[in-house]
Amino acid sequence: MVQNNFKKITVVPNGKDFIDVILSRTQRQTPTVVHKGYAISRLRQFYMRKVKYTQQNFHEKLSTIIDEFPCLDDIQSILWSLISKIAKDYVKLLKYGDLLCRCKSLKVAALGRMCTVIKRIGPSLAYLEQIRQHMARLPSIDPNTRTMLICGYPNVGKSSFMNKITRADVDVQPYAFTTKSLFVGHTDYKYLRYQVIDTPGILDRPFEDRNIIEMCSITVLAHLRAAVLFFLDISGSCGYSISQQAALFHSIKSLFMNKPLIIVCNKTDLQPLDGISEADRKLVMEMKGEAMKTVIGVLLIMSTLTEDGVIAVKNAACERLLNQRVELKMKSKKINDCLNRFCVALPKPRDQKERPACIPQAVLETKAKQAAEKEKRKTEKDLEDENGGAGVYSASLRKNYILSNDEWKEDIMPEILDGHNVYDFIDPDILLRLEELEHEEDLSPEEQEALAEIRKKKSLLIQQHRMKKSTAESRPVVPRKFDTDRKFTTERMGRQLSSLGLDPSLAINRARSKSRGRKRERSVDRRDGDDGDAMDIDDNQASKKLRLRSTSRSRSRSRPPSEVVPGEGLKDSAQKVKTIKLAKKSVLKRNKNARRGEADRVIPTLKPKHLFSGKRSIGKTQRQ
Amino acid sequence: MRLEKCWFCSSTVYPGHGIQFVRNDAKIFHFCRSKCHKNFKMKRNPRKVKWTKAYRRLHGKDMTQDSTFEFERKRNRPERYDRNLAENTLKAIKKIDKIRSDRASDHIKNRLKTGKVQRQKEARKQLELGIHLVKAPLALAQDSSLCLLKIKVNVSQAQTEENQPMEE
């Protein structure tokens, strides 16, 4: 029997509908067509089937109705027996039916009698339907689960308390009997669901005089095993004095047997508990005493308006109820089975040492630091607020740029230059490529000047070299220290270096400091002649001297060397050539030895060291 | 902000000018002014329209291949900002620009040089042949101060000495 789900009871049809439904089903579900010419057994079977089918249907439907309704056992059997009796009788008669029409009429009669039976119980069906409707509207209360009952005088604050702790939205009004029936809400405590039932107010009257609404509360108090919260209005704003409420309490305290009782003093914001009169206090203490006597009772104060103490009351009630239920369970026989299924495993302590959770110091520190940081850190929003708010301050987006040099953060770079996009030209090695490009181009005027100078100097060097080459045969190879022309002087070096663009002072000083004090070497006099020892490489002087000295230059004054000038005493040009040749040959050896003339037999060093000392690698040193 | 090139005439489109047309295949066409836009809508081929850069490059009127064009290339990868690099780039742009424009004008000059030489030759020839229309040859021979032609003279010492003061 489904007790809770009154809403799920099927609709009870009224008499006429019931009959209609059954008959149409019979017609549909059984074969409909039958002919005269069939075998009689077949005819009989056909009609018997119909009768039986109808009987079965009635039985089914009625039994479902009765099953669903909580308490209609006896009716069930009567009805059932009636209908089955009819069915049985007619089936018996049908067995002996010989004609189609007779069978058919038998069937019709059977069905008709069954229908009349149902018609007779038609009014009871209607009544059942009404009950069903009424019951469907009742709140579904599970009598076995944890339940809390709220009771007391009207207007003490039961419904407002209900609203506070559950999600039920009960009407709260200043007039009495606002709540006319039971209301159920649910609340949670320690992961368990509790039913909270709000009742209409009870007045202090003898049992017989109570009206229907009050009877609701009384009934529920009597039948449900739940924790009871008796509400007391301390301030008296409900319209009833404390003495009246106390009287009520005493009259219904018999209903509070074996139930955890909590006396709740409500509306303490209007009148604190300490402020009530002596008599009233005495009454309240009496009630408390009574409560203590029962299972577990307590007195609590609260105010639903200020929500002061509401949670405490709820927790206390739930706790007490839970404890009571657990106790009961423990005492019952079923507990042994349950206990077998539980096992709480704890590790066996090795010794008395306490081992709490270990958090490394570093973690604690960082946690503390993070917390501090979170408070102290300045966000961008704070910065914005400081500097004038949203419209005034614009955040600097460049603040956190990562650049090689932080000074560049505020740089403005142009995007366009002379009709080009600058970004198209950016290249890390743009300078290199630019250089290459410029190399492809022609030389600039400065470069061309420099080039001209280089070429001039080069040509001079070449000229000098050529001159040296032409007279190389009869020029002596003299080491530099015998500076004949005195051209390797520091002044000359200074002039040359400064023309190159260097500062010669250091070099000059060094040269002078390093040179040994020599006595004046034998200076070779300057000589005129074709052999021209005077080969000075100084720029301007050189060319001038060359021009003056060289006799082979200007064409206007030149004569071919082999031309015989009358008066020389030579026969012809061939002879002259030979003469010149001989003359040169005679001078060659002397010049090569750097001799000034025929009579120059000077030996600069009589005993040069390199010839008079040293060991030999091979041979004797007798004569060196 | 970017300077685009007009699709039709290849001139630069500055911000605030021109029209961008996006075709259904998501190709974008930039136009510098309504002239180019209208030509495009008429389906004209810029390579056949004389005043466009495309035509000039195709027909060898303007310089096509040069190393200076390699410097300007659309880069899709951003570079981290470097002040020195930015400075160098800005300076380099100017130099590259100058070199490119010099080369371009050289290119054009070279192209026009043969024509110039030819015209000069023709001019000289015409002068020779047609002087009789202006001055009678006899008159020219007599009055050397009015000569417009170079007189061919034998090179000898005396005469060259005479000529020198005249030329000066």
Which candidate from B67, B72, B83 shows the least CB-CB separation from A420? B72
- Subunit contact A411:B83, Cβ cutoff 8 A: yes
The β-bridge relationship of strands A192-198 and A183-189 is antiparallel
- For residue B73, the distance in angstroms to the closest alpha carbon of chain A comes to 5
Nearest chain A residue to B80, by CA: A403
Which candidate from A420, A426, A434 shows the least CB-CB separation from B85? A426
Amino acid at A298: V
Which candidate from B68, B73, B97 shows the least CB-CB separation from A418? B97
Residues in chain B with CB shorter than 8 Å from the CB of A408 are 81-83
CA A412 vs CA A130, A408, A427, A502, B83: distances in Å: 88, 9, 18, 44, 10
Which superfamily does A147-332 belong to? P-loop containing nucleotide triphosphate hydrolases (3.40.50.300)
Residues 57-116 of B with CB under 8 A from A: 67-68, 70-75, 79-83, 85-86, 88-90, 92-97, 99
Q: Where are the beta strands (DSSP E) in A400-527?
A: 416-417, 420-421
- Provide the 3-class DSSP secondary structure of residue A542: helix
- Subunit contact B67:A438, Cβ cutoff 8 A: no
Which candidate from B2, B68, B89 shows the least CB-CB separation from A426? B89
Which candidate from A403, A404, A430 shows the least CB-CB separation from B89? A430
Nearest chain B residue to A440, by CA: B67
The DSSP line for A341-386 is: H-----PPPSSS--------HHHHHHHHHHHHHHHHPPPHHHHHHH
DSSP state of A13: P
- Subunit contact A418:B93, Cβ cutoff 8 A: yes
List the domain boundaries for chain A: 15-137, 147-332
- Provide the 3-class DSSP secondary structure of residue B74: coil
Residues in chain A with CB shorter than 8 Å from the CB of B89 are 422, 425-427, 430
What are the contacts of A291-295 at 24+ separation with CB within 8 A? A291/A261, A291/A262, A291/A263, A294/A256, A294/A257, A294/A258, A294/A259, A294/A260, A294/A261, A295/A258, A295/A259, A295/A260, A295/A261, A295/A324
Task: Return d(Cα A168, Cα A139) in angstroms, integer.
Answer: 12
**A229 strand-pairing partners:** A150, A262
DSSP state of A308: B
Q: How many CB atoms lie within 10 A of CB B71?
A: 22
The DSSP line for A158-192 is: HHHHHHHHSS------SSS----S-EEEEEEETTE
Q: List phi, psi (to 5°) of A266.
A: -100, 170
- For residue A552, the distance in angstroms to the closest alpha carbon of chain B comes to 26
Q: Which of A430, A432, A433 to mutate to test the interface with B (most CBs of B within 10 A)?
A: A430
List the domain boundaries for chain B: 1-62, 83-132
pLDDT score recorded for residue A67:
76
Do the domains A147-332 and A15-137 match in fold? no
Task: Return d(Cα A168, Cα A170) in angstroms, integer.
Answer: 6
Task: Return d(Cα A99, Cα A102) in angstroms, integer.
Answer: 5
- For residue B3, the distance in angstroms to the closest alpha carbon of chain A comes to 6
Region B1-62: CATH code: 2.30.170.20
- Subunit contact A430:B1, Cβ cutoff 8 A: no
- Subunit contact B92:A434, Cβ cutoff 8 A: yes
- What's the token pair of residue A560? 């071919």
**A263 strand-pairing partners:** A230, A299
- Provide the 3-class DSSP secondary structure of residue A527: coil
Task: Return d(Cα A596, Cα A423) in angstroms, integer.
Answer: 79
Smallest Cα–Cα separation from A180: which of A202, A162, A160? A202
What is the block-wise mean pLDDT of chain A (624 residues), using blocks of 10 residues? 60 82 85 80 84 85 77 66 83 82 84 84 82 76 82 84 85 82 86 87 79 78 82 80 82 79 82 77 80 72 81 86 83 74 81 83 89 83 88 89 92 93 90 85 80 88 92 82 80 89 90 75 46 47 56 66 85 92 91 89 89 86 76
Q: What is the pTM for the complete model shown?
A: 0.39
Task: Return d(Cα A175, Cα A423) in angstroms, integer.
Answer: 84
Residue where the block lists tokens 């009574």: A290
pLDDT score recorded for residue A520:
55
- Subunit contact B81:A438, Cβ cutoff 8 A: no
Residue where the block lists tokens 């067509």: A33
Positions of chain B with pLDDT lower than 70, given as ranges: 144-168
- Subunit contact A413:B86, Cβ cutoff 8 A: yes
Query: In the 3-class helix/strand/coil scheme, how is A76-144 assigned residue by residue?
Result: HHHHHHHHHHHHHHHHHHHHCCCCHHHHHHHHHHHHHHHHHHHHHCHHHHHHHHHHHHHHHCCCCCCCC
Smallest Cα–Cα separation from A310: which of A249, A268, A259, A260? A268
**A184 strand-pairing partners:** A197
Nearest chain A residue to B68, by CA: A437
- For residue A557, the distance in angstroms to the closest alpha carbon of chain B comes to 20
Contact indicator for A481, A523 with CB cutoff of 8 Å: no
Residues in chain A with CB shorter than 8 Å from the CB of B92 are 425, 430-431, 434
Q: How many CB atoms lie within 10 A of CB A580?
A: 14
- Lateral strand order in the sheet of A147-152: A183-189, A192-198, A147-152, A227-233, A261-266, A297-301
Q: How many CB atoms lie within 10 A of CB A561?
A: 12
* CB pairs < 8 Å spanning A and B: 80
pLDDT score recorded for residue A153:
84
- For residue A445, the distance in angstroms to the closest alpha carbon of chain B comes to 16
- What's the token pair of residue A539? 């720029």
pLDDT score recorded for residue A71:
63
The answer to whether residue A401 neighbours chain B at the CB level (below 8 Å) is yes
Which candidate from A403, A416, A425 shows the least CB-CB separation from B3? A416
Residues in chain B with CB shorter than 8 Å from the CB of A440 are 67
Task: Return d(Cα B32, Cα B11) in angstroms, integer.
Answer: 7
CA A406 vs CA A399, A401, B41, B82, B118: distances in Å: 10, 8, 52, 11, 64
- What's the token pair of residue A617? 């690698």
Q: Which of B13, B84, B88 to mutate to test the interface with A (most CBs of A within 10 A)?
A: B88
Burial (CB count <10 Å: 0-12, 13-18, 19+), residue A167: exposed
DSSP state of A226: -
Q: CA B148 from chain center: how many Å?
A: 34
Task: Return d(Cα A201, Cα A205) in angstroms, integer.
Answer: 12
pLDDT score recorded for residue A2:
42
Taking each helix axis from N to C end, the angle separating B83-130 and A430-440, rounded to the nearest 10 degrees, works out to: 20
pLDDT score recorded for residue A537:
46
Interface ipTM: 0.76
Contact indicator for A538, A492 with CB cutoff of 8 Å: yes
- What's the token pair of residue A151? 């009771």
pLDDT score recorded for residue A173:
84
A231-259 b/e with 16+ CB inside 10 Å = b?
Answer: bbbbbbebebebeebbebbeebbebbeeb
Decide if domain A15-137 falls under CATH 1.20.120.1190.
yes
- For residue B121, the distance in angstroms to the closest alpha carbon of chain A comes to 30
- Subunit contact B89:A422, Cβ cutoff 8 A: yes
Residue where the block lists tokens 């040296």: A468
Residues 410-429 of A with CB under 8 A from B: 411, 413-428
Task: Return d(Cα B107, Cα B56) in angstroms, integer.
Answer: 13
Residues in chain B with CB shorter than 8 Å from the CB of A437 are 67-68, 96, 99
- For residue A442, the distance in angstroms to the closest alpha carbon of chain B comes to 11
Task: Return d(Cα A370, Cα A372) in angstroms, integer.
Answer: 5
Task: Return d(Cα A437, Cα A294) in angstroms, integer.
Answer: 110
Nearest chain B residue to A433, by CA: B71
Which candidate from A402, A403, A417 shows the least CB-CB separation from B93? A417
Residues in chain A with CB shorter than 8 Å from the CB of B82 are 403-404, 408
Task: Return d(Cα A145, Cα A167) in angstroms, integer.
Answer: 18
- For residue B122, the distance in angstroms to the closest alpha carbon of chain A comes to 33
- Subunit contact B82:A408, Cβ cutoff 8 A: yes
Nearest chain B residue to A423, by CA: B75
DSSP state of A306: T
Contact indicator for A70, A94 with CB cutoff of 8 Å: no
The DSSP line for A423-440 is: GGT--TTHHHHHHHHHHH
pLDDT score recorded for residue A536:
46
Which candidate from B1, B81, B93 shows the least CB-CB separation from A408? B81
Nearest chain A residue to B69, by CA: A425
